[in-house]
Amino acid sequence: MIHPQLQFRDYEPINPGDPIFLTFDGKEIAYEGKSTVYPIFINEAAYYEKGIAMCLTEKRQVTV
């Protein structure tokens, strides 16, 4: 399941090593990516049937 510290924290950074999931027996599962990501749509009911816990995004700077 989603780690409780992520609930209601859309767009707040997740860094490599930060807890992202929690097993039903209480074991934390850390984010293993190589860069900082920003979660959106955390635990949205609309995605439950699709098996999607959240969407991870990356910050990009665009020069126009």
Find residue 29's DSSP bridge partners: 21
Is residue 62 a part of any domain in this protein?
Answer: no
Q: Which residues contact 9 (CB under 8 A, 6 or more apart)?
A: 39, 42
Q: pLDDT 10s digit of each residue in the chain, 64 long?
A: 899 999 999 999 999 999 999 999 999 999 999 999 999 999 887 777 888 889 999 999 999 9
Is residue 40 a part of any domain in this protein?
Answer: yes
Is residue 44 a part of any domain in this protein?
Answer: yes
C-alpha torsion 21→12→41→6, nearest 10: 30
Q: Which of 13, 48, 60 is nearest to 33 (CA)?
A: 13
Number of structural domains the chain divides into: 1
**Contact, 6 vs 22, CB < 8 A?**
no
**For residue 58, what pLDDT is reported?**
95
Task: Give the predicted TM-score (pTM) of the model.
Answer: 0.82
Is residue 64 a part of any domain in this protein?
Answer: no
Range of the domain at 46: 4-57
Is residue 35 a part of any domain in this protein?
Answer: yes
